[in-house]
Amino acid sequence: MNYDCIIVGGGIAGLQAAIQLGRYSSHRVLVIDSGYGRSTLCQQYHNILGFPDGISGDELRRLGRSEATKLGAEFIDGKAVKAIKRDELFNIEVETGLVYTSKTLLLATGLTDRFPKLEGLQACLGNSVYVCPDCDGYEVQDRRTVVMGAGKEGASMALILSARTDQLVYVNHERSEVPNELIVKLREKGIEYKESAIIEIITGQPGCFEGVQLADGQVVRAERGFLAFGSNHVHSELAEQLGVRLLHNKHIETHPRSKMTNVENVWVAGDLGAHAEQATVAMGEGAMSAIWIHKVLSGMKTKVPQL
């Protein structure tokens, strides 16, 4: 089971890279994907060229996987648990114990947002509840919006969104500490502040957020929601095993041109990297990584710009 390139992570970045590599018609490519990521959560992507009315993450993934498969990429559904570099080759072990070998490796494992499991919430993600002000600040313009979060992360999100709407409520679900200077700023911006656990998401049609029921009995009605709990899980474990340098927040810096990490022939693309966490950025980085992987595989470049 020897490949030219193994891509771990078949989300937006990994699929775009698989398509780009497939179009060279000369590389054996394997994508290993555990099937749950930010792109499986988002019901409606905005801010993507060509999709003014949005497109769901599942649909984008379905189209991407189908295209990559037609271009010759192979797929394994499962989790990669171990990565070793030996004699210039990468050995990637999956949960079943099988080991796959490749000359180059792209890690596109993304991150997992931390938020409570509340019934009805998942159907709202990307439709009426969001996580990223760069992607979806536009969606809350002049609308009553509840920021569901924890501590200073939630407070900071509410302050960012105050440029969009003056009808904001911040519910500190975990009742974790908010520094006094942020409390003062919330007050100055006219943002309502509540400390109580959310026990229920109120929805109309599935995916249509209408507010939250709090444990203290209050009901907060709103048209839109935002999540900001902090401490997202960045899936950098495989990178760490290979000696890739992690930033303090576990994201990974890559060379701006080649997207290669500090470890030769290990690339990183998408939300695992250190940048704006957006689908279009993930696509761009997936494509860039694949172009440089091709240069290495075809012998065009023996020395790739590296950190």
Ligand X SMILES: Cc1cc2nc3c(=O)[nH]c(=O)nc-3n(C[C@H](O)[C@H](O)[C@H](O)COP(=O)(O)OP(=O)(O)OC[C@H]3O[C@@H](n4cnc5c(N)ncnc54)[C@H](O)[C@@H]3O)c2cc1C
Instruction: Provide the minimum distance between the beta carbon of 183 and ligand X in the complex, in angstroms, as a whole number.
Output: 27
Question: Taking CB under 6 A as the rule, does residue 14 contact ligand X?
Answer: yes
Applying CB under 6 A, among 4, 9, 56, 68 the residue interacting with ligand X is 9
Out of 6, 17, 30, 39, which residue is the one contacting ligand X (CB under 6 A)? 39
Q: How far is CA 21 from the centre of its chain?
A: 22
CB 61 within 8 A of CB 35: no
Both tokens of 15, joined, read: 């699929």
Q: Binding residue for ligand X (CB under 6 A) from 27, 46, 224, 259?
A: 46
| 13 near ligand X, rule: CB under 6 A | yes
CA distance 306 to 264: 8
Strand partners, 200: 213
Q: Which residues have C-beta within 8 Å of that of residue 125, sequence separation ≥ 6?
A: 41, 42, 43, 131
Amino acid at site 76: I
Asked if 2 and 101 touch (Cβ cutoff 8 Å), the reply is yes
Is 259 a residue that touches ligand X (CB under 6 A)?
Answer: no
Among 22, 110, 149, 154, binds ligand X (CB under 6 A): 110
Does 64 participate in binding ligand X (rule CB under 6 A)? no
| Nearest distance from C-beta of residue 63 to ligand X, angstroms | 14
Comparison of 122 and 262: residue with beta carbon closer to ligand X: 122
CA distance 80 to 98: 10
Does 262 contact ligand X by CB under 6 A? no
Asked whether position 211 contacts ligand X by CB under 6 A, the answer is no
Q: Which residues are paired to 111 by β-bridges?
A: 234
Q: What Å distances lie between residue 164 and 16, 148, 159, CA to CA? A: 32, 17, 10
The residue range among 28-36, 184-192, 213-221, 244-252 that interacts with ligand X, by the rule CB under 6 A, is 28-36
Stretch that binds ligand X, among 30-38, 82-90, 213-221, 259-267 (CB under 6 A): 30-38
Give the nearest distance from C-beta 11 to ligand X in angstroms.
Answer: 2
Query: 3-class SS at 68?
Result: helix
Nearest 5°: phi and psi at 81? -115, -15
Q: Is 101 helix (H, G, I), strand (E, B) or coil?
A: strand
Is residue 250 at the binding interface for ligand X, with CB under 6 A as the rule?
A: no
* Span 264-303, contacts to ligand X by CB under 6 A: 270-271, 277-280, 282
Judged by CB under 6 A, the residue of 4, 113, 210, 223 near ligand X is: 113
Q: Which amino acid is present at 113?
A: D
Question: Which residues of this protein are in contact with ligand X, per CB under 6 A?
Answer: 8-14, 32-39, 41-42, 45-47, 79-80, 108-110, 113, 125-126, 130-132, 135-136, 235, 270-271, 277-280, 282
